[in-house]
């Protein structure tokens, strides 16, 4: 594995293979890394083939380097700014609120009274 590849660096590479889970990118003659499908672009990617093709030149950021396993994690998304629309949508999302249940029924006068009344009638009928 190349010594010049450092986490956080941005390098250019060439897409050498595409799988449903991501794309393999050659960084030099002896070094290759994987861009996971979630790191291809901002937003949801259903089919990676809609974004990348074998032979594409891409700019990638090095997310991780595992010398033992010989794996390099890459991101194309990290080299791009998030679209303004996505940033605005995130800001506009309403915050989840806890539901508040107000129960003013302290004497049992509301709710399932008809069932409560009918229950006594049904019990009497079943015993007859």
Beta strands in 1-128 (DSSP E): 10-19, 22-26, 32-36, 57-66, 71-75
Q: Which domain, by its residues, includes 59? A: 10-81
- CATH, residue 51: 2.40.50.140
Residue-wise pLDDT tens digits, 18-59: 999 999 999 888 889 999 999 999 888 899 999 999 999 999
| pLDDT value of position 112 | 58
Mean pLDDT of the chain: 82
| pLDDT band of 125, cuts 50, 70, 90 | confident
**Does the pTM of the predicted model rise above 0.75?**
no
Asked if 1 and 31 count as a contact pair (C-beta separation under 8 A), the reply is yes
Q: Give 79's strand partners.
A: none
**Number of domains comprising the chain:** 1
- Residue 111 domain-assigned? no
């Amino acid at each position: 594995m190349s010594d010049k590849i450092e986490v956080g660096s941005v390098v250019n590479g060439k897409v050498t293979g595409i799988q449903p889970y991501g794309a393999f990118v050659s960084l030099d003659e002896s070094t290759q890394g994987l861009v996971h499908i979630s790191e291809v672009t901002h937003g949801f990617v259903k089919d990676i083939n809609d974004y990348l093709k074998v032979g594409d030149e891409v700019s990638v950021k090095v997310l991780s380097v595992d010398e033992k396993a010989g794996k390099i994690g890459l991101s194309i998304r990290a080299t791009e700014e998030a679209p303004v629309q996505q940033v605005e949508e995130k800001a506009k999302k309403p915050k989840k609120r806890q539901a508040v249940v107000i129960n003013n029924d302290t004497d049992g006068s509301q709710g399932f009274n008809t069932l409560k009344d009918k229950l006594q009638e049904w019990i009497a009928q079943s015993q007859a």
